[in-house]
């Protein structure tokens, strides 16, 4: 979920990354010979309530993720604070969000209906380690964080302890099934947290039940001293932060806690939606080489270069043909008309070649696990949809496309082709959507202003590694799913 800085001032600092750190041999949690401390977190998948456009506003640790009930966002369990007895604070399910920079939770003191809808909330007064904090722009403890869907996180900044805790319910890939798995954790003290005490965020409305807050995983922030990523970079020896011993140790490196890897699955079962690994990769989840890409010029975002841009191509067109700029046969889509019960072939795209979305080549896109779709600038959005056979623009300006088709969205990233098939970037038909018969909403939205965002529609197609081991020279690794 793309965050927007409020209160009048956002300082943008741009510096081109001109060199890349040497490629390290990344530890693999599926390899029992790796001497690496591993804590595994499984993801919860949470369904996101769809919205038509942003203009509507608009040491190693493995963390279990849960996919939200609409299936387009993911949460992880994170303990916040310290109890009166010195134990861990309450565990909240936080949205995994590589597109924003703050940890955001809801206060127990907030009486607004949308606050009351959040299942688990945070109480600073109940934590022995909660301390006051201020924002860097005004020196005030108050802050308003805006998001691209039009929601606002309005509250007070504090600092408290975060604990990323692995799930003890099942053994890790390298563990014997006869040995009870150990629960482990990485501890981050003094993490800035925005505690929402005013209406405006609407987590329940946006994501449904099971989302207690947001875990921002952007690189830097103009508002707080250290993001979660910067605090992970500062952990000189994460093994001292582990709550239990492990047969794996952390070898010395430029940064002992230096990267995270992410895979987003399809299961809606709690803890089975995907996985977020700190300081390790899981080779059982991907195949082939890891393709490395230096991050874009913004020091804040996990952005990557789209040197070949975003294209609309027939699914039968080969990757080599796209890379070599070879024209395709007639780019067409087989569209079923449920009303007539007939199938017609509709030819599209001028010059019978892949359609390049204007000005997406040699641009940058932010990897945003907190957003469900792919977000383009408004003029790009308006240029894309007329190229899709059978598409229709509604009276409100939004587009609908045939529910079935054979056009892939293709992203050209540093000489590699990444495809999103039609059935994955177009939503399933819904009786309650109110869309014209045979037409569906796509997961490509218009956004203005702002960068191109690649949300879970793209991230579900790749295994992603976020390397922050060399501050200032961060990079992203992409690999094909196994």
The answer to the question of residue 450 being in a domain is: yes
Same structural domain for residues 231 and 317?
no
The answer to the question of residue 11 being in a domain is: no
Please, what's the b/e burial string for 303-326 (b: 16 or more CB within 10 A of its CB; e: otherwise)? Answer: bbbbebbbbbbbeebeeebbeeee
Q: Which of 280, 315, 338 is the last residue of a domain?
A: 280
What are the pLDDT digits (tens) for 338-397?
343 333 333 344 335 799 999 999 999 999 999 999 999 999 999 999 999 999 999 988
pLDDT given at position 362: 94
Q: What is the dihedral of CA 409, 414, 416, 419, to 10 degrees?
A: -20
Same structural domain for residues 275 and 311?
no
pLDDT given at position 457: 95
For residue 376, the tally of other CB atoms under 10 A from its CB is 27
Same structural domain for residues 265 and 385?
no
According to DSSP, the β-strands at 103-106 and 185-196 are parallel
The domain of 418 spans 303-481
Three-class SS of residue 132?
A: strand
Radius of gyration of the chain (CA): 22
Pair of tokens at residue 252: 């010395």
Same structural domain for residues 264 and 380?
no
Tokens 């045939």 belong to 402
Same structural domain for residues 269 and 338?
no
Full pLDDT tens readout for the chain, 482 residues: 777 654 433 333 333 232 333 344 555 555 545 544 455 666 766 543 332 222 222 256 778 788 876 667 899 999 999 999 999 999 999 999 999 999 999 999 999 999 999 999 999 999 999 999 999 999 999 999 998 878 899 999 999 999 987 755 444 444 444 444 555 678 999 999 999 999 998 887 777 788 999 999 999 999 999 999 999 998 865 444 443 333 222 333 334 578 999 999 887 777 778 889 988 888 899 999 999 999 999 999 999 999 999 999 999 999 998 888 643 444 444 443 434 333 333 334 433 579 999 999 999 999 999 999 999 999 999 999 999 999 999 998 899 999 999 999 999 999 999 999 999 999 988 776 788 899 999 999 998 778 999 999 999 999 999 999 999 999 999 999 99
Q: Which of 221, 246, 280 is the last residue of a domain?
A: 280
The answer to the question of residue 333 being in a domain is: yes
The answer to the question of residue 81 being in a domain is: yes
Same structural domain for residues 229 and 85?
yes
φ and ψ at 476, to 5 degrees?
A: -125, 135
Pair of tokens at residue 320: 């080599």
According to DSSP, the β-strands at 185-196 and 91-97 are unpaired
Report the alpha-carbon distance of residue 107 to residue 156 in Å, rounded: 9
The answer to the question of residue 28 being in a domain is: no
Nearest Cα neighbor of 37 from 238, 213, 225, 223 is 238
The answer to the question of residue 287 being in a domain is: no
Pair of tokens at residue 231: 């605090």
Q: Which of 221, 247, 280 is the last residue of a domain?
A: 280
DSSP conformational letter for 407: E
The answer to the question of residue 295 being in a domain is: no
What are the pLDDT digits (tens) for 237-292?
544 444 333 322 233 333 457 899 999 988 777 777 888 998 888 889 999 999 99
For residue 234, the tally of other CB atoms under 10 A from its CB is 13
Same structural domain for residues 243 and 322?
no
Q: Is there a contact between 358 and 314 (Cβ–Cβ < 8 Å)?
A: no
Same structural domain for residues 256 and 340?
no
CATH number reported for the structural domain that contains residue 348 in this entry:
2.40.70.10
pLDDT given at position 447: 85
Same structural domain for residues 237 and 320?
no
Same structural domain for residues 327 and 459?
yes
Pair of tokens at residue 382: 């308006």
The answer to the question of residue 388 being in a domain is: yes
Number of domains comprising the chain: 2
Report the alpha-carbon distance of residue 422 to residue 435 in Å, rounded: 18
pLDDT given at position 186: 87
Same structural domain for residues 307 and 253?
no
Report the alpha-carbon distance of residue 14 to residue 36 in Å, rounded: 35
Same structural domain for residues 250 and 394?
no
Report the alpha-carbon distance of residue 4 to residue 158 in Å, rounded: 20
pLDDT given at position 325: 67
C-alpha 173: how far from its chain's center?
24
DSSP of 244-309, one letter per residue?
S--S--PPP-S-SS-EEEEEE----STT-SEEEEES-B-TTSEEEEEEEEE--S-SSS-EEEESSE
Single pTM value for the model: 0.82
Tokens 């496309």 belong to 401
pLDDT given at position 14: 31
């Amino acid at each position: 979920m793309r965050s927007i800085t409020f209160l009048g001032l956002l300082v943008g600092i741009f510096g081109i990354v001109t060199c890349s750190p040497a490629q390290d041999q990344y530890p693999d949690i599926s390899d029992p010979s790796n001497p690496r401390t591993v804590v595994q977190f499984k993801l919860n998948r949470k369904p996101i309530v769809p919205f038509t456009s942003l203009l509507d506003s608009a040491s190693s640790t493995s963390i279990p993720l849960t996919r939200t009930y609409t299936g387009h966002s993911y949460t992880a369990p994170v303990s916040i604070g310290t109890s009166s007895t010195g134990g861990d604070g309450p565990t909240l399910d936080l949205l995994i969000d590589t597109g924003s920079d703050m940890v955001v939770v809801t206060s127990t003191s907030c009486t607004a209906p949308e606050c009351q809808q959040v299942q688990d909330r945070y109480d600073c007064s109940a934590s022995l380690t909660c301390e006051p904090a201020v924002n860097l722009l005004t020196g005030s403890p108050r802050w308003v964080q805006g998001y691209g869907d039009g929601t606002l996180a309005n509250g007070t900044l504090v600092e408290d302890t975060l604990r990323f805790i692995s799930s003890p319910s099942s053994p890790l890939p390298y563990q014997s099934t006869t040995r009870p798995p150990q629960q482990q954790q990485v501890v981050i003290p003094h993490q800035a947290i925005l505690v929402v005490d005013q209406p405006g965020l609407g987590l329940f409305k946006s994501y449904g039940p099971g989302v207690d807050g947001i875990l921002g995983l952007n690189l830097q922030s103009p508002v707080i001293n250290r993001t979660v990523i910067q605090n992970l970079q500062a952990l000189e020896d994460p093994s001292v932060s582990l709550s239990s011993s492990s047969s794996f140790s952390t070898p010395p490196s430029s940064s002992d806690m230096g990267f995270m890897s992410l895979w987003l699955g399809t299961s809606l079962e709690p803890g089975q939606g995907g996985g977020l690994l700190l300081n390790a990769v899981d080779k059982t989840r991907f195949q082939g080489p890891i393709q490395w890409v230096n991050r874009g010029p913004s020091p804040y975002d996990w952005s990557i270069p789209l040197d070949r841009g975003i294209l609309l191509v027939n699914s039968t067109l080969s990757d080599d043909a796209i890379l070599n700029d070879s024209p395709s046969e007639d780019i067409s889509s087989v569209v079923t008309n449920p009303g007539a019960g007939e199938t017609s072939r509709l030819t599209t795209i001028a010059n019978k070649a892949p359609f390049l979305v204007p000005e997406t080549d040699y641009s940058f896109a932010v990897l945003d696990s907190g957003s469900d779709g792919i977000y383009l600038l408004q003029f790009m959005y308006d240029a894309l949809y007329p190229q899709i056979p059978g598409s229709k623009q509604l009276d409100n300006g939004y587009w609908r496309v045939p529910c079935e088709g054979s056009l892939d969205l293709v992203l050209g990233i540093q000489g590699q082709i990444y495809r999103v098939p039609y059935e994955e970037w177009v939503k399933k038909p819904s009786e309650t959507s109110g869309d014209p018969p045979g037409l569906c909403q796509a997961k490509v939205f218009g956004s203005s202003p702002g960068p191109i965002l690649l949300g879970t529609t793209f991230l579900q197609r790749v295994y992603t590694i976020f390397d922050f081991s060399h501050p200032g020279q961060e990079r992203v690794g992409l690999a094909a799913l196994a």
